[in-house]
Amino acid sequence: MKTLDQTILIVDDDKPNRKMLKELLQEQAKIIFAKNGEQAKKLARKHHPDLILMDVIMPDLSGFDVIDTLKNDAETMNISVIFITGLANDDDEARGFDLGGCDYIYKPFKSNIVIARVMMHLELIRQRKLLDEIAHIDALTGVNNRRKMDIVLAEEVDVNKQENTSLVVAIIDIDFFKQFNDNYGHGAGDVALRQVGQALCEVCQRPRDFVARYGGEEFVVILPDCDQVNAENILNNLTQAIDDKMIRHEFSSISKLLTISIGAIVVKSSVSSSVANIMKQADSLLYQAKNNGRDQWSIANLI
**Rounded distance between C-alpha atoms, residue 296 and residue 285, angstroms:** 11
**Rounded distance between C-alpha atoms, residue 298 and residue 261, angstroms:** 8
The 10s digit of each residue's pLDDT in 261-295 is: 999 999 999 888 899 999 999 999 999 999 999 99
Per-residue pLDDT, 126 = 94
The 10s digit of each residue's pLDDT in 89-138 is: 778 889 999 999 999 999 999 999 999 999 999 999 999 999 988 999 99
Catalytic hit among 27, 163, 217, 232:
217
Q: Which CATH number fits the domain 146-301, given the four candidates 3.40.50.170, 3.10.270.10, 3.30.70.270, 3.40.50.300? A: 3.30.70.270
166 burial via Cβ count (<10 Å: 0-12, 13-18, 19+): buried
Per-residue pLDDT, 1 = 47
Query: For this structure, is 75 an active site residue?
Result: no
Cβ proximity of 174 and 258 under 8 Å: yes
Residue 57 half-sphere exposure, CB side, CA atoms within 13 Å? 9
Per-residue pLDDT, 170 = 98
Residue 52 half-sphere exposure, CB side, CA atoms within 13 Å? 34
Cα–Cα nearest to 70, from 104, 108, 96: 96
Cβ proximity of 204 and 235 under 8 Å: no
pLDDT (mean) for 203-208? 95
Dihedral sign from CA coordinates of 151, 155, 158, 161: negative
Per-residue pLDDT, 246 = 97
**Rounded distance between C-alpha atoms, residue 290 and residue 173, angstroms:** 9
pLDDT band (50, 70, 90) for residue 2:
low
Q: Tell whether the model's pLDDT for residue 178 goes beyond 80.
A: yes
Q: Tell whether the model's pLDDT for residue 83 goes beyond 70.
A: yes
Laid out side by side, the sheet with 166-174 consists of 210-215, 218-223, 166-174, 260-268, 297-301
Per-residue pLDDT, 89 = 77
Per-residue pLDDT, 3 = 62
- The pTM of the whole model exceeds 0.75: no
Cβ proximity of 44 and 52 under 8 Å: yes
pLDDT (mean) for 142-155? 96
Of the chain, the percentage scoring pLDDT greater than 70 comes to 99
What are the residue ranges spanned by the domains of the chain?
A: 7-129, 146-301
* Coil, helix or strand at residue 7: strand
Topology, domain 7-129: Rossmann fold (3.40.50)
Per-residue pLDDT, 75 = 85
* Coil, helix or strand at residue 10: strand
Contacts 24+ apart (CB under 8 A), 129-138: 138/197, 138/212, 138/213
Of the chain, the percentage scoring pLDDT greater than 90 comes to 89
The CA-atom distances, in angstroms, between 31 and each of 5, 25, 112, 127 are 11, 8, 18, 20
Cβ proximity of 26 and 20 under 8 Å: no
Cβ proximity of 70 and 81 under 8 Å: yes
